Copies of this chain bind each other. A is one copy, B any other.
Amino acid sequence: MTGLVAPASERAARLLLSRVAEPYDEKVKALVAEHGVVDLVGYVVRDGRTPEGDRLDRFRPRLQSAQGVDEAQICRALGARVLVPGDEEWPSRLDDLEHPPWCLWVRGPQHLAEVTARSVAMVGSRASSAYGDEVTARIAYGLVERGFTTVSGAAYGIDAAAHRATLRADGLTVAVLAGGVDVPYPRANTDLLVAIGGTGAVVSETPPGGAPARMRFLSRNRIIAALTPGTVVVEANLRSGARSTTREARELDRHVMAVPGPVTSTMSAGCHEEIRLGATLVTDAAEVADLVGRIGEDIAPVKRGEVRPEDALEPETRRVWQWLRPRRSSSVDELMVRSGLGLSEVLVALSELEQLGLAEHLLDGWKRAGGRR
């Protein structure tokens, strides 16, 4: 018995749960699944145990201070709001998670469900290379041109490169943090987070003031994966935390994409392993949009090289053409022997080539024309 009053509303119960339990705690998830949030929080606050006698010790260390929190006051002070499942602004994609966040704190002018409707997550190594940063920026620019929001984690390296390029392109970007929305992390990205919150959205399931603890990053990564229809990993070493985002994306049946790089760079090794495991190799924004975009609207052309006039020739015409020289003329007899074709076939081919401007008839024979190369 704690002597405290249990919250009556689902929203209030979720807020309290966010304050007293870690989002990744398997035991808490199991208890919520069994009892529902309101009843569970009632047992925590009133009884200290479930009717079945489960001890709820792990909720107690933070309970006293959590009950003293004025959530509305905190939100006002931060210019933030709290979303719970069922709210109009709650992105329904999050309901694909086995355990959606209990709450989400949001700062920024954008409607979270709308701004992430057409979006791509871009993630990767904190210790990115110049190559990774450049490719991230190119892809982010291209995604903005195509009307996509970028979603990332505001970390050093690829995350920051994605957010910054999006902002430079006057696009919308969403940062999902492991700590509270008022806890800039890493500190050096404080200005970046202010800029993101000024035009896009800064989001967290960790209550304001909460530290970005290591295991919260993994929990945060599942939100990045769930918020978007696809995740691109640009650079990642084999152990990169970014790969937990792609793992979540794969489990959620989202598109998983990876950018290749030199096989001599450890920063691309995780990307190559992702592709070997089934991720789609992407090299630019068009290919990303092709995969995650609206069907029929965002089709990336298959990449082809330059098209040359001789590509369109029939095989035998091409055979004669290849033996014509650009600067010296060849006799018809010579062309027959070289091409292995009979007289009539060589003459038909030469006539066609002449009409196409690809061959020229001189006094002493034939040579290539067109001067295209």
A: which residues have CB within 8 A of B? Answer: 20-22, 24-26, 55-62, 131, 134-135, 211, 213-215, 237-240, 259-264, 268-269, 272-273, 275-276, 280-281, 283-284, 287, 302-306, 315, 318-319, 322-323, 333, 336-345
Whether A61 pairs with B340 at a CB distance below 8 angstroms is: yes
In the complex the two chains form, what is the Cα distance from A239 to B303 in whole Å?
Answer: 10
* Cα–Cα, bound, A240→B304 (Å): 10
A134-B264, A264-B134, A283-B269 are contacts. A58–B342 as well, Cβ < 8 Å?
yes
Contact check, B263 vs A213: say whether CB atoms are below 8 A apart: no
A337 nearest in chain B by CB position: B61
Taken together as a complex, chains A and B put the C-alpha atoms of A306 and B261 apart, in Å, by 21
Q: Is the pair A61, B333 in contact by a Cβ cutoff of 8 Å?
A: yes
Find out whether the CB atom of A303 lies under 8 angstroms from the CB atom of B238. yes
Chain B neighbourhood of A336, CB < 8 A: 61
What 8 pairs between A and B have smallest CB-CB spacing? A57-B342, A239-B305, A260-B260, A238-B305, A61-B336, A263-B283, A58-B342, A214-B322
Q: Is the CB of B215 within 8 A of A25?
A: no
A10 vs B305: C-alpha distance when bound (angstroms) = 42
Minimum CB–CB distance from A148 to chain B (whole Å) comes to 18
Q: Are A135 and B61 in contact (CB under 8 A)?
A: no
Q: Pick the residue among B20, B55, B213, B342 that contacts A323 (CB under 8 A).
A: B213
Which residue of the partner chain B has the closest CB to A265? Answer: B262
Report Cα–Cα, A322/B283, bound state, in Å: 37
The distance in angstroms between the C-alpha atoms of A20 and B323, with both chains bound, is: 16
Give the residues in chain B near A25, CB-CB below 8 Å.
340
- CB neighbours of A59 from chain B (8 A): 340, 342
Instruction: Give the Cβ gap from A365 to chain B, nearest Cβ, in Å.
Output: 15
Contacts known (A61-B337, A272-B281); A261 close to B262, Cβ less than 8 A: yes
Q: Are B237 and A322 in contact (CB under 8 A)?
A: no
Is the CB–CB distance between A340 and B22 below 8 Å? yes
What CA separation (Å) do A59 and B345 show in the bound complex? Answer: 12
Q: How far is the CA of A283 from the CA of B135 in the complex (A)?
A: 20
Which B residues lie within 8 Å of A263 (CB)? 135, 259-261, 283-284
* Sampled A-B contacts (25; CB under 8 Å): A22-B339, A57-B345, A59-B342, A61-B336, A61-B337, A61-B340, A62-B337, A131-B262, A215-B318, A215-B322, A239-B304, A239-B305, A239-B306, A240-B305, A259-B263, A260-B260, A260-B261, A260-B281, A261-B262, A262-B262, A272-B281, A273-B302, A275-B275, A275-B281, A281-B281
Min distance, Cβ A288 to any Cβ of chain B, angstroms: 12
Known: A264-B135, A322-B215, A342-B61. Is A276-B281 also a contact (CB below 8 A)? yes
Q: Is the CB of B302 within 8 A of A213?
A: no
Closest partner residue, chain B, to A243 (CB atom): B305
Q: For A344, give its contact among B57, B240, B323, B343 (CB under 8 Å).
A: B57
Does B276 lie within 8 Å of A280, measured CB to CB? yes
Chain B residues whose C-beta falls within 8 Å of the C-beta of A337 in the assembled complex: 61-62
Q: Is there an interface contact between A342 and B60, defined as CB atoms closer than 8 Å? A: yes
Contacts of A287 on B, CB cut-off 8 Å? 276
A25 CA to B314 CA, complexed, in Å: 12
- Which of A213, A305, A306 gathers most chain B CB within 10 Å? A305
Q: A22-B340, A260-B262, A269-B303 are in contact. List 11 more A-B contacts (CB 8 A).
A: A22-B319, A57-B343, A57-B344, A59-B342, A61-B343, A134-B264, A260-B261, A260-B275, A261-B261, A276-B287, A281-B281
